[in-house]
Structure 1
Amino acid sequence: MHTSSRLLLSRLACAIALTLGGTACGSPPPAASAVSASAAAAASAAAPAPAVPADSATLMRQIQAELADNGCDSERQCHTIAIGAKACGGPEAYRAWSDRHNDGGRLKQLAAQHAAARRAEDLRDRMMSTCSYVSDPGATCQAGHCVPRPLTVGAPPLAQ
């Protein structure tokens, strides 16, 4: 075996060991490790604690508050947003919202956080789902409010 091949295999083995075992190949000398450890401890003490992620129920209440003002003057103001996450993937549902008074930025952020929280809860609780696909129904303006369009079985998808 060539020297370059051996070096490549050695580096690959080291990378695998780092990934699986969390140990370093060719660790720094003890003095350097002590300095690194104390520097890391000081940095973590100075850094703010990471924010505790909200649970999905709290996020859902915030989403519902954002969805409360769903008034519309025309269908162009109505949109849908995916809510939640199924254990097999994809959203749990779609909700209608209006851009008449805002661009939906906060709603989109909350929906993404909620989906991440649901995925984490499903993983933690070892949840399973039916793996059924939930279609985006689109939204329409009805009686001055954005509402999801009714789903029709066998109808072709709506052009977006």
Structure 2
Amino acid sequence: MVRSSTFNKFFITTTVLASIALSGCETTTSGSSARVDLGDLNDQLNDIVSNNSCTASFQCKVLEVGERACGGPSRYVVYSTLNNAQEQAEQLAERITAAEKSSDQALTVNDCSPVLPVQSLCISQQCQAIEIK
């Protein structure tokens, strides 16, 4: 009977400790699924801004997209407002920037090499990026 009582105490103690240890665990979004979401957002933005046709330079816009660990955007996207929804492109760029800010993965991959700002011009009826040096 002493043996059974000791075993029961051991079993209960082990069960309680395991429950306490596991109660702190919760399901979190893994880095890979965050990257997939970021990839999906970037694909959506690329689809939206894929038609760069223009008739004048005022239709060409530059979006700052993403967030680098050392500050500034991770890239610039040139697009045309002639056939693209400007508001939708801006909202996606903001979502990508917010996702990169909150993603530890995006901040650690970054090497802080300079991303030169660009200007957009309508050249040969296409919005094109011109690097500002």
Using the size of structure 2 for normalisation, the TM-score is: 0.64
The number of equivalent residue pairs is: 100
Structure-2 residue corresponding to 1:68: 50
Unaligned runs of 5+ in 1: 1-52, 153-160
SS in 2 for 1:149: strand
Match of 1:135 among 97, 116, 130: 116
SS in 1 for 2:58: helix
For residues 84 and 43 of structure 2, what CA distance do their matches in structure 1 show?
A: 18
How far off is 1:138 after superposition?
1.0
For residues 105 and 129 of structure 1, what CA distance do their matches in structure 2 show?
A: 28
Structure-2 residue corresponding to 1:42: none
> Which structure is higher in strand share?
2
Matched, 1:110 2:92: yes
Structure 1 residues 60, 126: closer, same or farther in 2, change over 3 A? closer
Runs ≥4 residues deviating over 3 A: 128-133
Unaligned runs of 5+ in 2: 1-33
For residues 127 and 106 of structure 2, what CA distance do their matches in structure 1 show?
A: 35
For residues 104 and 134 of structure 1, what CA distance do their matches in structure 2 show?
A: 23
| Correspondence 1:62-101 to 2 at 5 A | 62-101=44-83
Letter in 2 for 1:141: C
For residues 116 and 144 of structure 1, what CA distance do their matches in structure 2 show?
A: 33
Match of 2:125 among 140, 144, 160: 144
Using the size of structure 1 for normalisation, the TM-score is: 0.54
> Which structure is higher in helix share?
2
Higher relative contact order (CA 8 A, sep 6+): 2
Identity %: 26
How far off is 1:134 after superposition?
2.6
